[in-house]
């Protein structure tokens, strides 16, 4: 097989790309990504890029076969993979990168790749021989993204951590919760997924755009702690010029005022109220039968009186009854859903935030939809998660290895 033919083959997924996308072009079609990441932030990053059409090849390590995706129930590995959104739209090869032959295979893949994504602690890829400096000698156009907790530099770079730690150092956790209470621990959305995976996908896309202008790839250093602080940009200015840091439940956006708050209802459900603008506040007061409150939206002396009245009133009806009443007028209100309720909400369904994808044995499997809506080249969910090493033979064949050579590599534990 010629080098050009191998390159063309590697830029296509193992299945027929035309059957995935119909007649519409995918925005990242032709972008080839080698994904070395393991835990949630990296797979979310490559999921975002894969949803937009990138050819994502998972470079997986040999395993004992007992692991299931994070957040998925154990027992039925095939079913768990089918419902694992983070690995959809991807292919998989198992390479033992501690083996020189496996690294040689990786180098061949990297020679025609656009992006390498890794999520190890700083220094690991250097020890494995698959770091940026090594790869850019073979492919100067490579965009190499390292996604870690604290980044590749700085005194914390070698510290271990998880979302709860990154939102602590980044300044977010200290402002979440109620006055006088311990900080409230959110799900791992802020650091892992927003400050990590989403931030990394943004960095990769910016680097790819820069490559179109310079002809050169570059290194992208993403720290989840950086990403958390970046997300707080709207708050940093006032602190940097000498203002106080936002405390738990002390600002208008984290629970200090009655018109931007949450209220329990008769059935134990909750509603959120966000009537910041004066006209929305007027409508809320009218709906709650207390027009006399209208002049006192920002009156600190009457704040507790208003809050108590709203708490009492919301307990008079169920959550859904209140939502039906409040959505009839311009009032910033919404029911507080469980994730199951959110996935069944008619608005979210109308926005295609739950879609079906075909699985070879399970039939139609529901997945979360693509959040980024493009009018001309929309992303899509085309395949469910691959089994580890599912595409090993296809990938090696495209590199020029025949069946005998692949069998020998597998026998030696180079691939699986």
> Residue 103 has which token pair?
């690294």
Distance, in Å, from the CA atom of 162 to the CA atom of 148, rounded to the nearest integer, reads 10
Closest by alpha carbon to 196, among 225, 154, 156? 225
199 in catalytic set: no
What does DSSP assign to residue 61?
A: P
Distance, in Å, from the CA atom of 272 to the CA atom of 197, rounded to the nearest integer, reads 28
Active-site residue identified among 99, 162, 352, 394: 162
CA-to-CA dists, residue 70 to 74, 84, 190, 289, 313, angstroms: 10, 9, 17, 48, 41
Distance, in Å, from the CA atom of 382 to the CA atom of 28, rounded to the nearest integer, reads 14
Give the count of beta carbons closer than 10 Å to the beta carbon of residue 216: 13
Helix (H, G, I), strand (E, B) or coil at 379: coil
Active-site residue identified among 114, 163, 192, 221: 192
Q: What count of residues does the chain have? A: 416
How many CA atoms lie less than 13 Å away from 286 in the CB half-sphere?
Answer: 11
Catalytic residues: 162, 192
């Amino acid at each position: 097989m010629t080098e050009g033919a191998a390159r063309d083959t590697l830029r296509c997924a193992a299945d027929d790309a035309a059957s995935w996308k119909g007649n519409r072009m995918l925005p990242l079609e032709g972008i080839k990504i080698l994904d070395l990441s393991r835990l949630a932030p990296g797979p979310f990053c490559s999921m975002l890029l894969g949803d937009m059409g990138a050819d994502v090849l998972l470079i997986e390590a040999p395993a004992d076969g007992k692991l299931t995706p994070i957040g998925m129930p154990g027992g039925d590995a095939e079913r768990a993979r089918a419902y694992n959104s983070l690995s959809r739209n991807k292919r998989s090869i198992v390479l033992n990168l501690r083996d020189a032959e496996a690294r040689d295979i990786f180098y061949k893949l990297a020679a025609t790749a656009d992006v390498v994504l890794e999520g190890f602690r700083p220094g690991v890829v250097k020890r494995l021989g698959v770091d940026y400096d090594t790869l850019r000698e073979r492919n100067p156009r490579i965009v190499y993204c390292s996604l870690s907790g604290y980044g590749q530099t700085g005194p914390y770079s070698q510290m271990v951590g998880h979302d709860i730690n990154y939102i602590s150092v980044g300044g977010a956790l200290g402002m979440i919760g109620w006055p006088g209470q311990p900080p409230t621990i959110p799900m791992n959305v802020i650091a892992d997924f927003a400050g990590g995976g989403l931030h990394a996908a943004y960095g990769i896309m910016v680097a790819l755009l820069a490559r179109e202008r310079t002809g050169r790839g570059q290194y992208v250093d993403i720290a989840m702690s950086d990403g958390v602080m970046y997300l707080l940009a709207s708050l940093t200015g006032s602190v940097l010029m000498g203002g106080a840091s936002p405390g738990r439940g002390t600002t208008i956006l984290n629970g200090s005022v009655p018109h931007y708050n949450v209220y329990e209802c008769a059935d134990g459900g909750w509603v959120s109220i966000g009537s910041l603008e004066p006209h929305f506040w007027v409508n809320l007061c009218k709906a709650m039968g207390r027009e006399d409150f209208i002049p006192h939206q920002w009156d600190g002396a009457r704040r507790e009186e208003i809050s108590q009245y709203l708490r009492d009133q919301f307990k008079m009806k169920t959550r859904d009854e209140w939502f039906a009443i409040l959505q009839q007028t311009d009032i910033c209100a919404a029911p507080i859903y469980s994730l199951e309720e959110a996935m069944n909400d008619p608005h979210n369904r109308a926005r295609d935030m739950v879609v079906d994808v075909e699985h070879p044995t399970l039939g139609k499997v529901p997945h979360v939809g693509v959040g980024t809506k493009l009018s001309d080249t929309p992303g899509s969910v085309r395949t469910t998660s691959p089994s580890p090493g599912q595409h090993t033979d296809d990938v090696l064949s495209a590199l020029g290895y025949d069946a005998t050579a692949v069998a020998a590599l597998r026998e030696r534990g180079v691939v699986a």
